[in-house]
Amino acid sequence: MTTWLMRFDVTGDGPRLAVKDCIDLAGTVTTAGCPVLAGRAEPATADAPVVTTARQAGARIVGKANLTELCWSADGVNEWSGTPVNPLDSRLLPGGSSSGSAVAVAAAEADVGYGTDTGGSVRVPAACCGIVGLKTSWGRIPLTGVYPLAPSLDTVGPLGRDVAAVELGMRLLEPGFAAPAAGDGPVTVGRLRAVNSPRDVEPEIDAAIDAALTAAGFSAQDVTGFDFTAAGRAVARIIDREGYLSNRHLLPDVARLREHNQRNMREGAALTEADLAPARAAQRALRAQFDAALVRYPVLALPTLPTPPPQLGTRGNRLTALTAPANLVGLPALSLPVPTASGLPASLQLIGPHGGEERLIAAGRTVEAALAVR
């Protein structure tokens, strides 16, 4: 059962919660999907605060969900613990790194999944598995008891089969969370076309996003001039450096890591703070652009993935091309499935201002309701 690293028998009627195995559960080993950590770590002595709030709200933790090793890839593949099977199509990548949490929700084995998102690791598997995922604002949800990848980008967020389940997940993370009711009349949103050439997003995906916004009654105005290629390079560099620092205690056993992570560790070790200066400059510039756009529009809309979910075994997939920029600037982003003309999965991504999760839930609810009656 590659969805789970550990299953629990539970009773009661509270929501079933899948917890990504980079989040501490008292009495269990946090493996982060890594055999080196699994062999070294002691059982956690306490729940992570995000688990404590869920238990207090009556959630039943049904298991620790599988993930990409060390949360350090968006494909969802794990050669050690197995790759969770995408319920939409077993030939497709499940997406990662929160692959097990997404698959557990999509397969109806959990009502809510906890994931982490550093460059897209909640939204990418949500898009691949046809469910809803929310990347939270950086700093809003506590990261104590969560195994770090890149602390300046890391976030915890919920996955659910629909927007209501994700809102429930936010209440498990943050007691008292409540999104407003949908507003009256049409809303103008910023349609972010922030890629460097039209070929970066497949036309069918772009058309699906535009159709979903129209169905929801949103008026869309194009927002351009964002350099997502530079943003992607900046995120990759920050993750390489901070990921190395987070995992350098594994250096004596680095040869046992996934080949991809061995390379990440080598590249991260070679970077200095001076090497990060261009990334930080790109971060400041992009944050100013997002802040300006979000003064004009309540939310920005774009695809989650530039293509349909890739097949297993393919390489060169641009899984985080459209998700990583929100991590770079610390903004919340909601991904939800939308239909395409051919029936292939597509996912709408809505980005809001810092602390704007309530606004995103309300907008997502409007889109979801409109698509349900088509």
pLDDT under 70 in the chain at which residues? 1, 183-186, 194-199, 374
The CATH number given to 187-230+276-372 is 3.90.1300.10
20 is catalytic: yes
Q: Rounded to an integer, what distance in angstroms lies between the CA atom of residue 217 and that of residue 228?
A: 28
Fold match, 4-173 / 187-230+276-372: yes
Cα gap 141→131, rounded to integer Å: 21
pTM tops 0.95: yes
pLDDT of amino acid 195: 58
pLDDT of residue 373: 73
- The letter for the amino acid at 33 is G
Annotated catalytic residue: which of 73, 97, 246, 347?
A: 97
3-state secondary structure the chain: CCCEEEECCCCCCCCEEEEECCECCCCCCCCCCCHHHHHHCCCCCCCCHHHHHHHHCCCEEEEEECCCHHHCCCCCCCCCCCCCCCCCCCCECCCCCCHHHHHHHHCCCCCEEEEECCCCCCHHHHHHHCCEEEECCCCCCCCCCECCCCCCCCCEEEEECCHHHHHHHHHHHCCCCCCCCCCCCCEEEEEECCCCCHHHCCHHHHHHHHHHHHHCCEEEEEECCCCHHHHHHHHHHHHHHHHHHHHHHHHHHHHHCCHHHHHHHHHHHHCCCHHHHHHHHHHHHHHHHHHHHHHHCCCEEEECCCCCCCECCCCCCCCCCCCHHHHHHCCCEEEEEECCCCCCCEEEEEECCCCCHHHHHHHHHHHHHHHHCC
The pLDDT score that the predictor gives to residue 198 is 44
CA dist list (Å): 25 to 22, 54, 59, 117: 9, 12, 13, 19
Any catalytic annotation for residue 342? Answer: no
Lateral strand order in the sheet of 218-223: 4-7, 60-65, 16-20, 112-116, 156-160, 132-135, 333-338, 346-351, 300-303, 187-192, 218-223
pLDDT tens sequence across 100-141: 999 999 999 999 999 999 999 999 999 999 999 999 999 999
Whether the Cβ atoms of residue 117 and residue 155 lie closer than 8 Å to each other: yes
Q: 């593949």: which residue's tokens?
A: 77
Question: Which tokens belong to 341?
Answer: 């003309």
| Triad 284, 289, 294: Cα angle to 5° | 125
> Is 121 one of the catalytic residues?
yes
CATH homologous superfamily of 4-173 equals: Amidase signature (AS) domain (3.90.1300.10)
Please check whether residue 134 is in contact with residue 168, taking contact to mean a CB–CB distance below 8 angstroms: no
For 166-217, the pLDDT digits (tens) are: 999 999 999 999 999 876 666 899 999 865 644 589 999 999 999 999 999 9
Question: What are the sequence ranges of the domains in the chain?
Answer: 4-173, 187-230+276-372
Considering 20, 64, 73, 335, which one is annotated as catalytic?
20
Exactly one of 121, 137, 335, 347 is catalytic; which is it?
Answer: 121
